[in-house]
Amino acid sequence: MELYSLLKKCPLFAGLDNEQLKQLLKIAQHKNYSKGELLFAEGQSAKGFYLTLCGKIKIYKLSPEGKEQILHIVSPGEPFAEVALFSGISSYPAFAETLTNSEVFYFPKSEFVDLLKNNPQLSLNMLATMSQFLRRFNHMIERLSLQDVSARLAQFLIQEIPLGNNQQHPLITLTMTKTQLASQLGTVSETLSRTLKKFKQEGIIAVNGKCITILDQEALRNLIGFDTKYVDFIHDC
């Protein structure tokens, strides 16, 4: 059954034996969503968490005026809403909406916590996963509070350079629309468009639709400014 191999590939369940995976499958609910569906809303009572099997799911917040801040775009193999599990009677802290047709596993809270109690390895994995999130949020706070849009975009671009790519002019292909990228960077599409244009004029990048070629990595790193950033990048990818 191919669901086993799906679970095994997911970092959250790495190192678990088949018996444990079987137990997980027993409590997992397989769900299908079509593009544009809302999985849950912010504030809604949370009784479990999700694991993405296929598709892309947008996790975001809304301001009172309707502005959208994307926290994360979830890809297959990644869990989301884990935070719901461990803080008493809890509610979802953001919205979740499918960007494409998607399949997910839904793990009800109480059953999953029972598994955790008898399964130290699973707990450790869970902790590792949540650490990743904390680091991601940490970066996001850094970006939003300490850097202007140019720096945020520069950081994003550096982050997106494919690993092991030692070419002089790495190529990045966006997996989302520029409007969505703008929202992730805490800005709006107009400003992103202007910033990209500025980078182009300064010879830092070349843009062709969703393809961006980095012409001057040095300049990008200077825009970011943080020395300590480099260290973190290694662990976040």
Choices 52-60, 81-89, 108-116, 181-189; region in contact with DNA by CB under 7 A: 181-189
Task: Say how far residue 69 (Cα) sits from the centre of its chain.
Answer: 13
**The entry of a copy of itself, DNA, none that residue 191 binds, CB within 5 to 8 Å by partner kind:** DNA
Residue 202 near DNA by CB under 7 A: no
Which among 161, 41, 30, 39 has a CA at the least distance from the CA of 103? 30
Examine residue 35 and tell whether it contacts DNA (CB under 7 A). Answer: no
65 counts as binding DNA under rule CB under 7 A:
yes
Q: Which residues contact 86 (CB under 8 A, 6 or more apart)?
A: none
Instruction: Work out which of 135, 169, 194, 197 binds a copy of itself, going by CB under 8 A.
Output: 135
CB of 67 to a copy of itself, least distance (A): 6
What distance in Å separates the CA atoms of residue 87 and residue 98, rounded to the nearest whole number? 25
| Token representation of residue 18 | 């088949």
Burial class (CB in 10 A: 0-12, 13-18, 19+), 228: exposed
| Binding partner of residue 101 among a copy of itself, DNA, none, CB cut-off 5 to 8 Å per kind | none
Residue 20 in contact with DNA, rule: CB under 7 A: no
Measure the CA–CA gap between 213 and 215, rounded to whole angstroms.
Answer: 6
The two three-digit tokens of residue 177, written as one number:
């629309």
Instruction: Say how far apart CA 217 and CA 155 lie, in whole Å.
Output: 11
What is the identity of the amino acid at 84? A
By CB under 8 A, residue 83 contacts a copy of itself: yes
Site for DNA contains 24 (CB under 7 A): no
Assess 207 for contact with DNA (CB under 7 A).
yes
| Binding-site member from 6, 12, 51, 149 for DNA (CB under 7 A) | 149
Cβ within 8 Å of residue 144, ≥6 positions away:
152, 186
Indicate whether 141 belongs to the interface with a copy of itself (CB under 8 A): yes
Q: Provide the binding-site residues for a copy of itself, judged by CB under 8 A.
A: 41-43, 61-65, 67, 69, 71, 82-83, 85-91, 93-94, 113, 116-121, 123-124, 126-128, 130-135, 137-138, 140-142, 144-147, 186, 224-228, 231-232, 235
